[in-house]
Amino acid sequence: MNDRSVQLPFTTQQTCILASPSTPSSESPPPLLVAIHGYAQTGERHQRWTKQSVPAHFAAAFPDGFHRFEVRRSGRKPRIGFAWYTYTDDRPAFLASLVESEASLWRMIDRLAEELGADGSRVWLTGFSQGAYLVNYASMMHPERIAGWVAQCGNMREDYLQGYKPDLSGKPVLLQYGEHDEALPRGSASSCRDLLVAHGADVTFSMHDAPHAITPGMADEARVFMETHEP
């Protein structure tokens, strides 16, 4: 991939890694994959973990989240991380942040499709952890904007939709979870699957021998899933 970086307008220091297709088609613009990282991560770090999940004929983008902050952990040097929305015990504030982030996500996707010369009608999303929450939410709110999505180690709840009833008829979705994931409440994987199925999505549900992480096997499975549905 011929990678480059662009500055995004949502924060003063939000950037995005852009990757052109490694085997581009001469006949049509490529599909676009936007890969959404987890809490306290960056697009650059996320690309290192998930690069092998990108189909060769896809253009791909690995953006930083909308909220920038300093990450401090015992025994490690401070670093900069990003989040996609704010989450506190104030539930109305959380839902308002989620709605705001979803709107920003679509504006960002339009910009990325233009930057990469990609087909805006063939957009795929992948998301890990907090990114998976946003990907699930955005995809359910506007399924007409995407071809399909992959949610890794994340959740979705009916009450996040605040009464909205999406029509996901036949929309391909891959849900990936680790069997040893201590970061998610017990039962959240199956409840997320059941919610998407109830709204008509074509869900592939996959459990892996993994903690709260994306393993090489999960990345390979995601790539094959997208190649199958977007050949």
> For 61-98, what is each residue's pLDDT tens digit?
999 999 988 998 888 889 899 999 988 889 899 999 99
**Measured distance CA(160)–CA(99) in Å, rounded:** 9
**Is the per-residue pLDDT at 149 higher than 50?**
yes
Tokens of 76: 């490690």
pLDDT, greater one: 16 or 74 = 16
> For 186-215, what is each residue's pLDDT tens digit?
889 999 999 999 999 999 999 999 999 999
**Measured distance CA(66)–CA(86) in Å, rounded:** 10
Mean pLDDT of the chain: 93
| Cα angle 51, 194, 50; round to 5 | 5
Q: How far is CA 33 from CA 6, 58, 68, 112, 163, in A?
A: 16, 7, 23, 10, 29
Overall fold of domain 3-229: Rossmann fold (3.40.50)
**Measured distance CA(133)–CA(75) in Å, rounded:** 30
Strand (E) positions, the chain?
3-7, 15-19, 32-36, 59-63, 67-71, 79-83, 123-128, 148-152, 172-178, 202-208
**Domain residues of the chain, as ranges?**
3-229
Query: Is the pTM of the predicted complex or chain greater than 0.85?
Result: yes
What would the mean pLDDT of 149-160 be, rounded to a whole number?
95
Question: Would you state the pLDDT for residue 1?
Answer: 46
